[in-house]
Amino acid sequence: MTDINKTIDIIFGRWKSQILYAGAKTGIFDYLSTDPKDVSQIAKDLELDEAMTYRILRALASLGYLKEEKNERKFSISPEGEFLKKDHPQTLQGILLLEEGPEHYQIWKHLPRMIKEGNQDAFLSEYGTKIFEYAANNSEYSKIFNEAMSSYSAMHTAMVIDALDGYDFNNISHICEIGGGQGHLSSHLHSKYDHTRGTILELEQVVNNHHTAWPTKMGLQDRCKYLKGDMFDYVPPADLYMMKMILHDWSDEECVKILSNIYKSAPEKSKVFIIEHLIPDASTSHFSKLFDIHMMCATTGRERTLEEYILILKQAGWNYVKTHYPSSKMIGVIEAIKGIN
């Protein structure tokens, strides 16, 4: 792609993601299969306007997410479209519904102003409340948020398991995942290591839905239990603390508070795994540099370099051990210990 085409593609990027959003929101991806269906049937079954339905189906086919039969007004799902079905094992539907949904769509408009003023957290500016308080009071948003986190986790869990391949879990029996969401990562680790048990510390709005979360889905509810709480107040003692996509939600000062609080409860020699995107050097183009801007809009947080995480860990009393990377290098698992390794 020449530079001008790349730029045109980026300028119209939001059109494409909004077209995908409409496909998911109207139920088109979940409804269609590889067996072509007539537009009138699709519109009737999904209770949509037929003329408009044809236009959105045609646009989705043009983007490669559906297949359009020549001159027949019939559509079927493409291999790329399968990933946008709710029930696909690596579904991206949750991420699409969250990131292109109305709440997150609105916050981006604050970006130029925030850059000028040096004042982040557009969520607070737009809704008068921080993101997790907003989720606590909006069950529909909370549901979409949690499903999106499970969608992200479907990608991340595989990367964490890849990064920790060969790691010695023998001395680890109790794993506490802080802000573990629907428990995708914890459940898959407990399923891999049958001597471990776990606690997932989460906010009320997440714990209330624990019966539909991954520990129950995977039959691990006796070994992996939810604990309602606030990581700024109390975390239970454990051999290993995991935090995946948690510290990037918070400022450096807030991260030091969270890590210091864990340190207070942590037994000597316990470990912490911080699982995050890590910003690489200036010459490397990386998704983390874009995710950082999303964090600027949605929270008080940021994406960080490894050195920045090591500094925060040190300020909270933890000793850095090493970083484990999956082969994709998309994320890193930063390991630290209370005391000496």
Ligand X SMILES: C[S@@+](CC[C@H](N)C(=O)[O-])C[C@H]1O[C@@H](n2cnc3c(N)ncnc32)[C@H](O)[C@@H]1O
Which residues of the shown chain bind ligand X in the complex (CB under 6 A)?
132, 149, 152-153, 179-181, 201-203, 206, 230-232, 244-246, 249
State CA 20 to chain mean position distance.
Answer: 18
Q: Give the Cα separation of 205 and 218 in Å (integer).
A: 21
Q: Give the Cα separation of 44 and 248 in Å (integer).
A: 44
Q: Give the Cα separation of 220 and 191 in Å (integer).
A: 8
Q: Give the Cα separation of 78 and 57 in Å (integer).
A: 12
Q: Which DSSP string corresponds to 185-198?
A: HHHHHHHH-TT-EE
Question: In whole angstroms, how close is the CB of 105 to ligand X at the nearest point?
Answer: 18
Question: In whole angstroms, how close is the CB of 87 to ligand X at the nearest point?
Answer: 19
Which tokens go with 108? 């981006």
Q: Please, which residue, 122 or 245, has the CB nearer to ligand X?
A: 245
The one-letter amino acid at 58: R
Question: In whole angstroms, how close is the CB of 220 to ligand X at the nearest point?
Answer: 17
Select the residue whose beta carbon is closest to ligand X and give its number. Answer: 179
The one-letter amino acid at 211: H
Q: Please, which residue, 12 or 232, has the CB nearer to ligand X?
A: 232
Question: In whole angstroms, how close is the CB of 200 to ligand X at the nearest point?
Answer: 9
Question: In whole angstroms, how close is the CB of 197 to ligand X at the nearest point?
Answer: 18
Which tokens go with 44? 């009737």
- Residue whose tokens read 């309602």: 228
CB 336 within 8 A of CB 272: yes
Q: Give the Cα separation of 289 and 307 in Å (integer).
A: 16
Q: Give the Cα separation of 66 and 69 in Å (integer).
A: 10
Question: In whole angstroms, how close is the CB of 133 to ligand X at the nearest point?
Answer: 9
Q: Please, which residue, 20 or 95, has the CB nearer to ligand X?
A: 95
